[in-house]
Amino acid sequence: MSAATKLLENRWDDARAAAMSEPERLLYRSNLLGSDKRITNFGGGNTSAKVRQADPLTGEEVTVLWVKGSGGDVGTMKLDGFATLYMDKLERLRTIYKGVAQEDEMVGLLNHCTFDLNPRAASIDTSLHAYLPYAHVDHMHPDAVIAIAATKRSRELTREIYGDEIGWLGWRRPGFELGLELSRFAADNPNAKGVVLESHGLFTWGHSAKDCYETTLRIINRAIEWFDGQLAGKTAFGGEAVAPLPAEERRRIAARLMPEIRARIGQNERKIGHFDDSDAVLQFVGSNDLQPLAALGTSCPDHFLRTKIRPLVLPFSGDVDAVLAGLDASIEEYREGYRAYYERCRHDNSPVIRDPNAVIYLVPGVGMISFAKDKATARIAGEFYVNAINVMRGASGVDVYQGLDEQEAFDIEYWLLEEAKLQRMPKPKSLAGRVAFVTGGAGGIGRATAERLLREGACVVLADIDAGSLDGAKSELSKAFGADQVRGVLVNVTEEAAVEKGFADAVAEYGGLDILVSNAGIASASPIEDTTLEVWNRNIDILATGYFLVSREAFRLFRRQKLGGAVVFIASKNGLAASAGASAYCTAKAAEIHLARCLALEGAEAGIRVNTVNPDAVLRGSKIWSGEWREQRAASSKLQTDQLEEHYRARSLLKRSVFPEDIAEAVYFLASDLSAKSTGNIVNVDAGNQISFTR
């Protein structure tokens, strides 16, 4: 919506579409629409088609409404994301409906209209599609159209831009009544191609999938062009009050603020953070109109359900310490405001108040921080606030922007049906909301550990010195667990500045830290007379000093964050049991174990637990065991290298081989609340070896 905004492209491919069934064409259209966030936001909007199909029971041809079901995202959904309902039964519902008091009941009745035992639950928006006399309907949330819908004069502006082609309906919460209003509008205006819904979004329709798609695009493009003309040469948001700081400085400040915010909002439920300093955000947070516009709240229900109705503006003017000094008060003031909103708007049967903390934190000159129960939710909340910024930019540039009425917002936020949806959500995984930093994360044990923690819902930062392996591990784990969950930082654990930067990067990505797994390592073997000073120093540097440096950084963060913490050292059997011909390695590993004990002592009062896992002979997946260490170990036992695994198995008390996953399991135990009452411990994972029994 600034000069020279790119218009939406028509990406419909006739040849592809011709080979599809009607439901497939609906899916094709939905995915095309949802692939551009200017057309609709993540999870926002829905699409439908009324399709003639054989009834599975009678074989008779019936009309079936295919409409995006509850949850899901039009851009990424599959065919199973659509609910299917008999149109004749949906028509019968109109005879049952007596008025708005019955809204919630009507949603329950939708289940009785299910076609073909489809398990996908019908959404609250189903009736908005069902009663429109068109085979194809799109309901989208384009920023450019919501910007019109969120102005005081939205009715007049809609008319000015679209004439009779697009109608306008005043705000109404989605449900049966709105479905009937839409139906009446379409009947009264047979030439209209759609409707702008005040403070909400756009409906468009057509007689074929292609026709509907093209209308949707054309209507949105017209809004984009109109705004381009209107806003050309105008200053957005009343002009700049605070200039953006340089990029590195912004990130540094975010990394300082985020753990402090997390400390204050994460006591009951750990939160993951997201930082956005895109141009659109910086323009808004640095503007003269920031305070008044932020206070008005967001308009589209989708926006505020994700972001809460209002953000928290942190009064930053160059002095981070001043923000930190006032942070308790800022956060408490926000909570009080939220509690007051709840009290003002609650009904007798409203669900109990939810987390009163802000989701969105705006920092002039720096950017936007968002916090939610997991990374994807925090990121998406940020994206939604960017949608809201775009809407405010457009709306306030052409007229007066208006947020959604507070009571209406409350009635959506605390809708009993919304509450029921929340209650149905699966229990969070044991490490949901936790952030883990795993050094040597690209190696055998580190990667298996990362995988184990990811399986439990943690966000994992892999830190390694080996760029190639790091990229590989990161991309494979991202594929398996989602890109939001995994980050990689290139770090040499022996370098103080690199370690500090690695942690700062991790914090700017996720907002804090809960778990450190210090695992980066090497191995070497040589008799003492042949051990060069270089080899000695290398072992001490990576294993002893490296473990010290990462622990110190984690401790600093844990203390600022005040949420406790778990540190797990991957040491070695060789740290407990002397081994001939590897004194440098053994000594450095012993130093690790003793460091862990000292840190357990120091950290306890702050809830920081420090424990050690001692692996032994984990050959598979280990880079250590693919190098000369393997040859040296084989030689010292007078074996071929390929006999080693069997040799170690046979040597163990339990006669079992030890794999990286076995070490990872012990790390998970010590990193999670399963071991909440253990610190200063050592767990050997070596299939049993008397010389490493602890005593």
What residues are annotated to the active site? 585
By the rule CB under 6 A, 519 interacts with ligand NAD:
yes
- Work out the angle between the directed axes of helices 103-110 and 176-188 (0-180°, nearest 10): 90
Whether 286 and 241 have beta carbons less than 8 Å apart is answered as: yes
135 or 461: whose CB is closer to ligand NAD?
Answer: 461
Distance (Å, rounded) from C-alpha 625 to C-alpha 76?
A: 43
By the rule CB under 6 A, 443 interacts with ligand NAD:
yes
Whether 173 and 412 have beta carbons less than 8 Å apart is answered as: yes
Side by side, the strands of the sheet bearing 515-518 are 486-490, 459-464, 435-439, 515-518, 565-570, 608-615, 682-685
Choose the binding region for ligand NAD from 128-136, 169-177, 234-242, 618-626 (rule: CB under 6 A): 618-626
383 or 592: whose CB is closer to ligand NAD?
Answer: 592
Amino acid at 191: N
Phi/psi of residue 117, nearest 5 degrees: 50, 30
194 or 546: whose CB is closer to ligand NAD?
Answer: 546
CB of 572 to ligand NAD, least distance (A): 4
By the rule CB under 6 A, 551 interacts with ligand NAD:
no
Which residue among 523, 568, 596, 667 contacts ligand NAD (CB under 6 A)?
523
Q: How many residues bind ligand NAD (CB under 6 A)?
A: 32
Choose the binding region for ligand NAD from 86-94, 260-268, 373-381, 488-496 (rule: CB under 6 A): 488-496
213 or 625: whose CB is closer to ligand NAD?
Answer: 625
CB of 371 to ligand NAD, least distance (A): 29
53 CB contacts (<8 Å, ≥6 apart)?
A: 61, 62, 63, 64, 115
By the rule CB under 6 A, 596 interacts with ligand NAD:
no
Whether 171 and 198 have beta carbons less than 8 Å apart is answered as: yes
Closest of 168, 144, 145 to residue 155, by C-alpha? 168
By the rule CB under 6 A, 444 interacts with ligand NAD:
yes
Amino acid at 195: V
By the rule CB under 6 A, 517 interacts with ligand NAD:
no
623 or 651: whose CB is closer to ligand NAD?
Answer: 623
CB of 619 to ligand NAD, least distance (A): 6
CB of 434 to ligand NAD, least distance (A): 21
By the rule CB under 6 A, 616 interacts with ligand NAD:
yes
Measured between alpha carbons, how far is residue 463 from residues 432, 505, 650 in Å? 20, 11, 34
Question: What is the CB neighbour count within 10 angstroms for residue 53?
Answer: 18
Distance (Å, rounded) from C-alpha 557 to C-alpha 514?
A: 9
CB of 569 to ligand NAD, least distance (A): 9
By the rule CB under 6 A, 491 interacts with ligand NAD:
yes
CB of 550 to ligand NAD, least distance (A): 9
Q: Among the residues of 85-162, which ranges form H helices?
A: 87-96, 103-110, 126-130, 143-149, 154-162
534 burial type by CB count under 10 A (0-12 exposed, 13-18 middle, 19+ buried): exposed
CB of 231 to ligand NAD, least distance (A): 50
273 burial type by CB count under 10 A (0-12 exposed, 13-18 middle, 19+ buried): buried
Distance (Å, rounded) from C-alpha 76 to C-alpha 266?
A: 31
Which residue among 74, 195, 263, 445 contacts ligand NAD (CB under 6 A)?
445
Closest of 259, 389, 241 to residue 315, by C-alpha? 241
> By three-state DSSP, how is residue 64 classified?
strand
CB of 585 to ligand NAD, least distance (A): 8
Which residue among 167, 273, 403, 615 contacts ligand NAD (CB under 6 A)?
615
CB of 476 to ligand NAD, least distance (A): 14
231 CB contacts (<8 Å, ≥6 apart)?
A: 1, 2, 3, 393, 394, 397, 398
By the rule CB under 6 A, 489 interacts with ligand NAD:
no
By the rule CB under 6 A, 512 interacts with ligand NAD:
no
Residues between 261 and 300 with contacts to ligand NAD, criterion CB under 6 A? none
404 or 550: whose CB is closer to ligand NAD?
Answer: 550
The 446-485 contact track toward ligand NAD, x by CB under 6 A, reads x-----------------xxx--x----------------
Choose the binding region for ligand NAD from 62-70, 438-446, 504-512, 672-680 (rule: CB under 6 A): 438-446
3-state secondary structure 181-195: HHHHHHHHCCCCCEE
Residues between 557 and 586 with contacts to ligand NAD, criterion CB under 6 A? 570, 572
Partnered with residue 196 across adjacent β-strands are 168, 202
Choose the binding region for ligand NAD from 71-79, 140-148, 279-287, 521-529 (rule: CB under 6 A): 521-529
Whether 364 and 289 have beta carbons less than 8 Å apart is answered as: no
For the record, the structure tokens of 440 come out as 């040597």
CB of 419 to ligand NAD, least distance (A): 46
By the rule CB under 6 A, 492 interacts with ligand NAD:
yes
Which residue among 502, 521, 565, 603 contacts ligand NAD (CB under 6 A)?
521
Distance (Å, rounded) from C-alpha 96 to C-alpha 232?
A: 51
DSSP state of 39: T
By the rule CB under 6 A, 502 interacts with ligand NAD:
no
Which residue among 28, 437, 625, 668 contacts ligand NAD (CB under 6 A)?
625
Residue nearest ligand NAD, Cβ-based: 443
By the rule CB under 6 A, 603 interacts with ligand NAD:
no
Residues between 321 and 350 with contacts to ligand NAD, criterion CB under 6 A? none
Which residue among 313, 522, 671, 683 contacts ligand NAD (CB under 6 A)?
522
The site for ligand NAD (CB under 6 A) is made up of 439-440, 442-446, 464-466, 469, 491-494, 519-523, 542, 546, 570, 572, 615-618, 622-625
